[in-house]
């Protein structure tokens, strides 16, 4: 598609803990976040990074999540695009091209972050998990897919005080995508209509 789409403990109190258990804490926070999140709304900034490490394209929009299995990305700038998942399908709508592509959920995103956040993927069964330390206020967890046929090499998730702060995705085509979330609203009601898609009149529809 044209616009493709990222511990320290007190010495005396915790001397008995091993280095492995310390590394487990951010991973455990991720598990708790995924378990407790029923819905999520947030603004996002998405940056595509080229091989030189420079920002090739920056997009802005809104993200909606309703577990299980529903998510929506609304891209507003610099181009308009919608990605909506519901009922085992994903709709990709490119406003400029007036084109809709429909895919089965497992074929289009596999074990990618979108499906991970929607609540349909087991961390232990699908990923090798590594604590990557901190970056600013974010605690970084790296997830490497166990399935060698996965569409991406790894994803890192940044948690800010236990809440989703950002993600970084490296795919098999050498593209790096970073997503930063802001103005997050956790477990607040989201209209069911946001996860329903009807192709606009005149749009070309392709099913895969």
In a structure prediction context, what are the per-residue pLDDT tens digits for the chain, which is 208 residues long? 444 433 322 222 223 333 333 445 888 888 888 888 899 999 999 999 887 777 889 999 999 999 888 999 999 999 999 999 888 888 999 999 999 999 887 644 544 566 677 766 678 888 899 999 888 888 999 999 887 777 788 999 999 888 899 999 988 777 899 999 999 999 999 999 999 999 999 899 998 7
Are 73 and 178 in contact, with CB atoms under 8 Å apart? no
pTM: 0.80
Q: What tens digit of pLDDT does each residue of 29-51 get? A: 888 888 888 999 999 999 998 87
Give the H or E element holding residue 57.
strand 55-66
Q: In what order do the strands lie in the sheet with 152-160?
A: 127-135, 138-145, 152-160, 163-171, 176-186, 39-49, 55-66, 70-77, 81-86, 89-94, 99-104, 204-207
Task: Set out the domains of the chain in order of their start, with CATH numbers.
Answer: 39-207 (2.50.20.10)
Are 22 and 40 in contact, with CB atoms under 8 Å apart? no
Number of alpha carbons in the 13 Å side-chain half-sphere of residue 56: 13
């Amino acid at each position: 598609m044209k616009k493709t789409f990222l511990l320290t403990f007190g010495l005396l109190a915790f001397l008995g803990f091993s280095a492995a258990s310390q590394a487990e804490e951010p991973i455990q926070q991720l598990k708790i976040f995924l378990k407790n999140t029923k819905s999520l709304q947030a603004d996002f900034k998405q940056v595509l990074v080229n091989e030189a490490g420079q920002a090739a394209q920056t997009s802005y929009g809104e993200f909606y999540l309703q577990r299980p299995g529903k998510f929506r990305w609304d891209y507003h700038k610099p181009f308009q695009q919608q990605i909506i998942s519901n009922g085992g399908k994903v709709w990709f709508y490119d406003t400029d091209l007036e084109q809709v592509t429909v895919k089965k959920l497992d074929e289009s995103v596999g074990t990618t972050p979108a499906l991970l956040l929607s609540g349909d993927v087991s961390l232990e069964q699908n990923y090798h998990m590594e604590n990557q330390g901190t970056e600013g206020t974010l605690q970084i967890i790296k997830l490497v897919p166990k399935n060698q046929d996965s569409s991406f090499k790894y994803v890192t998730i940044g948690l800010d005080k236990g809440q989703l702060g950002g993600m970084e995705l490296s795919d098999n085509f050498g593209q790096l995508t970073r997503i930063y979330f802001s103005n997050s609203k956790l477990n607040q009601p989201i209209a069911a209509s946001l996860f329903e898609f009807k192709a606009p009149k005149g749009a070309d529809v392709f099913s895969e």
